[in-house]
Amino acid sequence: MQDKNTAAGAPSNDDKLVELGVAAAAAAIRNGDITSEAYASALLRRAREHAGLNSFITVDEPAVLAAAREADKARAAGSTAPLLGVPIGIKDSYATAGLRTTLGVSNLKDFVPRRDADVVAALRDAGGIVFGKNNLVEMSFGLTGHNGSYGQVKNPYNHDRVPGGSSSGSGAAVAARIVPAATGGDTVGSIRVPASLSGVVGYKPTNGRWPAGGVAPISHTLDTTGILARSVEDCALLDQVVTQDTAAPTSRRSGLRGVRFAHAPRQYMKVIDPEIAAHFTAALERLRDAGAEIVEIDLGDDFMATANRLTWSFFFREMREAVAQFAAANDFPVTFDEIYRDIKPQLKAIWSQVVVPGGPGYLSEDGYASALSVERPQLQRRLGQVFTGNAADALLFPTTPCPAPLIEHGSDFTVAGHQVDDRFLAYNTVPTSGAGLPGISIPVGLSTGGLPIGLEIDAAHGEDKNLLDLARRVESLFGTLPAPA
């Protein structure tokens, strides 16, 4: 029903509120322009309206409203906390005290942790509110957003399409304006892939920059926590809150004149959807027009094959031990074997091949040791040369080689005439993960079918502040995508 005070066609107050990002909402609450309760209420109504996206497993509405009222009291008492009264979505691989945490598996459908994950604790300490637990692929193991126990997450721009994964619900909820930001986890691209396919910003920090305590792991070598939001500004604010790193970027400047970008088309555009290629080429031209220098580099014939083989090896080889240790250390009442027993058949088939010791594809001890001590350092050196030998400020590439595939196609689909499986969605993001570099995906447009297209910007190891500052300047050329219809 239309508010009698809202003219036909004019945005309602709810519409205005849900468009607020993290920084804007926090400032409006601190300034007294809006209340946290009004903001949270608008987001909760939005969540109910868009329940069909299946972006959340759990939302405790009374708890959200109670926390919002407490934030308003704190504001009245003089609090200026950086996230005061702002609700944030939490991927359901993060432990949340007092709110059930399933890791996306049926074994934990009733489990409520006693302690928050470190990132959740940092967000709460800064005044943030836990809005709910975002749906994800079981144990964060997958890229399409399908969950056998809690259902398929849908892409807000086209409900017949996948949203990406494994941080599926996080990307969909942010794009749909249900929350201004949501946490994610990235092992091979699980923040950047859903950011690209769902049309939001996804920031993967340098490995080790964000704490991982209380977050279900896959690979201690590759995993990093991170964030999905609708602007680089919000990612930078949340990075500062979580890391307590208040230092200014060392290379802060205005505009892009003097910035040197590298791109490697032989490696990152070998098999690519024509529309993705066209948008990427247009993005490079826009960056040139803004004064940036664009240099084409070649990372070698074996680069992508080596990076993908190495990174997926860690992904599969480290999971069983990592999950077992996590469950025991964090009092999760489940074992890896119990999870394996009850997961969906498609996942069990994969795990039996490459995750469970004795499987035909399980990496040997010698192979694992070589990957850690020889092959990964080689990958890190090769990517490091992009920023040293080529003196590039950042490496650019299409985040995903295609727009969001159809849900009905499952794990197999066609890109530019090539049959691929769902791992292809992370083909471009995998090297960044393998080397532990920071990367951020920003939306740069929509396909002719109305599907989001992402551009990834990577920086050298540890250069997160400079990456965020540079991404903010790039983002200013492209703006944000319109809300899904």
Collapsed DSSP state (helix, strand, coil) of residue 42: helix
Two structure tokens written together for 231: 């602007």
For the stretch 44-56, what's the b/e string if a residue is b when 16 or more beta carbons lie within 10 angstroms of its beta carbon? bebbeebeebbbb
Short-list 43, 34, 44, 41, CA closest to 75: 34
- Tell me which residue has tokens 């990957």: 371
CA distance 175 to 481: 9
Q: Phi, psi (5° rounding) for residue 475?
A: -55, -35
Amino acid residing at 35: T
Torsion sign across C-alpha atoms 303, 304, 306, 311: positive
Two structure tokens written together for 381: 């050196």
In this structure, the number of other CB atoms found within 10 A of the CB of residue 231 comes to: 22
13: Cβ contacts below 8 Å, ≥ 6 apart: 3, 6, 42
Short-list 399, 445, 451, CA closest to 202: 399
For the stretch 375-408, what's the b/e string if a residue is b when 16 or more beta carbons lie within 10 angstroms of its beta carbon? bbeebeebbeebbeeeebbbbbbbbbbbbbbebe
**Residues acting as catalytic residues:** 91, 166, 190
254: buried, middle or exposed (CB in 10 Å: 19+, 13-18, 0-12)?
exposed
364: buried, middle or exposed (CB in 10 Å: 19+, 13-18, 0-12)?
exposed
